[in-house]
Structure 1
Amino acid sequence: MLLERKKSKDCRVMANKSTFNMSGYTTSLMQKILLLAASLSLSVTAARAQVDTVRASTLPPAQQAEKLYNSGVSKYNGKNYRAAVQDFDKALALRPDFAKAFYNRATTRYELKEYQLAVQDYDQAIKLEATSFSNYFGRAQAQEAAGMRPEAEQDYGRAAEIKPDYAPAWYYRGALRFEKGEFQEAKADFDQAIKADPNYAYAYHDRASTQRKLNNFDAAVQDYTKVLGLQPDFLPALLNRAAARRRANDLKGAMTDYNTYISKKQDNPIAYTNRGSARYEAADYKAAVEDFSKAIELDANYAFAWNNRAAAHLKLEDYKSAAADAAKAIALNAQYAEAYMNRGHAREMLRDAPGACQDWKKAAELGLETGSSYAANSGCTE
């Protein structure tokens, strides 16, 4: 979707999965069917002396297929998905080359979370209409939902090639590339999405998060600001702009964003933790403790908040509280190197040298080089 959740980790905010509106095709077919029905009515009138009735079963198979197709579309629009699939099944039994029926059955199966079956239907639609961008985009959506990410990326690309002005194709491929850590490629895709649709708020948002990964913090702030201009109530952009401003050394701007966010949403522990971190960086340690405490109140299993409060307690020289908070963070995440470092500092100040050495060594073992430095400088032995 990209929310700053924990230290140096982003979670993309993504747009809702979209399926194509089938009503456009329905209208033209319905008009065609109505015209056919009118001609049949005239034929019946002219031949009344010889034929009493004309049953629906006497319609040519192609016309019956179209009638069933439109019935399926109507049921889809009414969210009666299982019945819609049954109508598309019957339409395809009568007309196996009905590409739009394959496409719409695939779309319906997507709604039913039958992703593999949806992919199979899109396969058939593509065989019949290989130049339809919507077939490739729809298949990409189903593939992504089924965990077939490389295939989805390829299909999003194919859809974008066929219809370069279709912004979602670029956007979704960019999102997949972001998740793989291919940030330059992701940015290029988000650029194309924005070129195709200058008001595409999600594309600006995810390009901003890509800029953060590329350490282009000023550019990230500009894109988040654009998002908020397009959608003022898009709160993730406000929270992420605060994070970007922090990285750009604009603590005042970051605090303004955090305060605005929290005034609108008081139940997000991440927001309190991030504002607490900004207050910590501004040396306002008491206020930082208050924010970390609020985050813990909202989520008692939030190890990041426990460790950060331990760090703030260290600055306030409350070593017992620091040791207890760091221990809680470790209990929640036994691989949390920074928490071992903080507990080590607290134990040192509490005159527990063996405990401090043990924690610093563990931090070093988990990849935190400063742990080795502290252990060596403090004369810790094996």
Structure 2
Amino acid sequence: MLRIYILAISLGFTIGAKAQVDTVRATTLPPAQLAEKMYNSGVTKYNSKSYQAALQDFDKALAARPDFAKAYYNRATTRYELKDYPQAVQDYDAAIRLEPTGYTSYFGRGQAREALGQRTEAEQDYTKATETKADFAPAWYYRGALRFEKGDYQAAKADFDQALKADPNYAYAYHDRASAQRQLGNFAAAIQDYSKALTLQPELLPALLNRAATRRRAGDLKGAIADHNEYLAKKTDNAIAYSNRGSARYEAADYHGAAEDFGKALSLDASYAFAWNNRAAAYLKLEDYKKAAADAGKAIGLNPQYAEAYLNRGHAREMLRDTPGACQDWRKAAELGLEAGSSYAANSGCGSE
């Protein structure tokens, strides 16, 4: 699943009253006014991505007014941007103590805890955010993403449903609900959701790749190849996309096209063992056995435990009249757990040695 983070959703950074322009020294202001002045300055600096300067202003706001919940919240968010997740959690804690109904503080603390690897605690915080504000779509979405990553696809789908109920234009929620549907075997529904995500956000290119994969699993090879074509017309540096289109072309019996795509994948990533082996399979279909043996050998060199590559090299060697080499490869494939290796070795009279 593609996890898409949407941290740019401006939460809580609202300035109450505009700071007045005057020549009064900050140190002469009453504490409440000083706190508001430094808070507004911190917000401005945060919005310009001057996070360290914003942090200093929020420090001053809290020094002047220790019960300033919004300043704790916004300092926490600033610390999150600075990747100081433990301190961010502490500030969210303070904001929640002062304002227990602050749903954005629960959500922000959930994000910080997730960044710390505290997924159970993060899920609890997202849950609290949904309980505090049921129409806050991001909390449903992030909890759904956590549940997806745990493999609880039905619960994840239910959360994405709620996110879309709260925000019917939430492209990422359509995308991730589609991924949950795909895992549940609901291919038609998954394709529909990926399509909706692309309608809302045409540049959400991962949705094209995922829709292509779903169409391929549903047996729509033509549709899968069309999606890959559209993706690769926009982004030409993705080895996996070329490899996946190659696989779809292979299944559609376009072996020349498949070999070409695997080659493009390898031109981008020469360490891509999967593409070496798949091009070997395409060359076998094209009866170019020398190239097939060479490519399978490359895959084995990159991954000595690659059972399928041994199987393919065995086939190529058999056709090159290298029976001992073929038998050796098939036995190795069987040793690595590929039952077909044993069958080919037995049928070819390889024996035990």
Same fold (TM over 0.5): yes
Deviates more, 1:279-288 or 1:72-81: 72-81
Matches within 5 A, 1:255-274: 255-274=225-244
Deviates more, 1:194-203 or 1:177-186: 177-186
Secondary structure of the structure 2 residue equivalent to 1:173: helix
Q: Report the AA paired with residue 303 of structure 1.
A: A
| Cα distance change on mapping 1:380 and 1:174 into 2, 3 Å | farther
Find the counterpart in structure 1 of residue 327 from structure 2.
357
Q: Report the AA paired with residue 110 of structure 2.
A: A
Matches within 5 A, 1:198-213: 198-213=168-183
Find the counterpart in structure 1 of residue 6 from structure 2.
16
1:134 aligns with 2:104: yes
Would the aligned equivalents of 2:331 and 2:341 in 1 still touch at CA under 8 Å?
Answer: yes
CA distance in 2, matches of 1:82, 1:185: 39
Provide, for residues 124-164 of structure 1, a one-character-per-residue CA deviation record: whole Å limited to 9, x for no partner. Answer: 11122222110010111112222222221221121112112
Find the counterpart in structure 2 of residue 381 from structure 1.
352
Q: Report the AA paired with residue 295 of structure 1.
A: A
User: How far did residue 22 of structure 1 move?
Assistant: 4.1
Would the aligned equivalents of 2:107 and 2:125 in 1 still touch at CA under 8 Å?
Answer: yes
Find the counterpart in structure 2 of residue 342 from structure 1.
312
CA distance in 1, matches of 2:169, 2:125: 24
Specify which of 131, 147, 156 is matched with residue 161 of structure 1.
Answer: 131
Specify which of 319, 327, 343 is matched with residue 289 of structure 2.
Answer: 319
Specify which of 290, 297, 300 is matched with residue 267 of structure 2.
Answer: 297
1:93 aligns with 2:63: yes
CA distance in 2, matches of 1:374, 1:54: 89
Find the counterpart in structure 2 of residue 251 from structure 1.
221
CA distance in 1, matches of 2:8, 2:119: 17
Q: Report the AA paired with residue 64 of structure 1.
A: L
What TM-score do you get using the length of structure 2 for normalisation?
A: 0.92
Provide, for residues 90-145 of structure 1, a one-character-per-residue CA deviation record: whole Å limited to 9, x for no partner. Answer: 22223222211111111111111111211111111112222211001011111222
Deviates more, 1:327-336 or 1:166-175: 327-336
| Cα distance change on mapping 1:359 and 1:155 into 2, 3 Å | farther
Provide, for residues 68-103 of structure 1, a one-character-per-residue CA deviation record: whole Å limited to 9, x for no partner. Answer: 222222221222211211121122223222211111
1:287 aligns with 2:257: yes
CA distance in 2, matches of 1:54, 1:200: 46
| Cα distance change on mapping 1:228 and 1:365 into 2, 3 Å | same
Secondary structure of the structure 2 residue equivalent to 1:241: helix
Deviates more, 1:103-112 or 1:295-304: 295-304
CA distance in 2, matches of 1:367, 1:170: 42
CA distance in 2, matches of 1:364, 1:218: 37
| Cα distance change on mapping 1:168 and 1:54 into 2, 3 Å | closer
Secondary structure of the structure 2 residue equivalent to 1:93: helix
Extract unaligned runs of 5+ from structure 1: 3-11, 39-52
Extract unaligned runs of 5+ from structure 2: none
Q: Report the AA paired with residue 108 of structure 1.
A: T
| Cα distance change on mapping 1:54 and 1:187 into 2, 3 Å | closer
Higher RCO structure, 1 or 2 (CA under 8 Å, sep 6+): 1
Q: Report the AA paired with residue 95 of structure 1.
A: R
| Cα distance change on mapping 1:173 and 1:368 into 2, 3 Å | farther
Find the counterpart in structure 1 of residue 52 from structure 2.
82
User: How far did residue 307 of structure 1 move?
Assistant: 0.9
CA distance in 2, matches of 1:380, 1:195: 64
Deviates more, 1:56-65 or 1:150-159: 56-65
Would the aligned equivalents of 1:340 and 1:360 in 2 still touch at CA under 8 Å?
Answer: yes
User: How far did residue 300 of structure 1 move?
Assistant: 1.4
Runs of 4+ in 1 over 6 A off after TM superposition: none
Instruction: Name the count of aligned residue pairs.
Output: 352
User: How far did residue 376 of structure 1 move?
Assistant: 4.0
What TM-score do you get using the length of structure 1 for normalisation?
A: 0.85
CA distance in 1, matches of 2:193, 2:25: 62
Provide, for residues 344-370 of structure 1, a one-character-per-residue CA deviation record: whole Å limited to 9, x for no partner. Answer: 222233333443333334333434333
Q: Report the AA paired with residue 370 of structure 1.
A: A
Secondary structure of the structure 2 residue equivalent to 1:331: helix
| Cα distance change on mapping 1:350 and 1:241 into 2, 3 Å | same
Q: Report the AA paired with residue 194 of structure 2.
A: Y
CA RMSD of aligned residues (A): 2.3
Secondary structure of the structure 2 residue equivalent to 1:351: coil
Q: Report the AA paired with residue 252 of structure 1.
A: K
CA distance in 1, matches of 2:55, 2:250: 57
Deviates more, 1:134-143 or 1:12-21: 12-21
Matches within 5 A, 1:13-92: 13-18=3-8, 20-24=10-14, 26=15, 28=16, 30=17, 56-92=26-62
Q: Report the AA paired with residue 151 of structure 1.
A: E
Q: Give the percent of matched residue pairs that are identical in Structure 1 and Structure 2.
A: 72
Find the counterpart in structure 2 of residue 224 from structure 1.
194
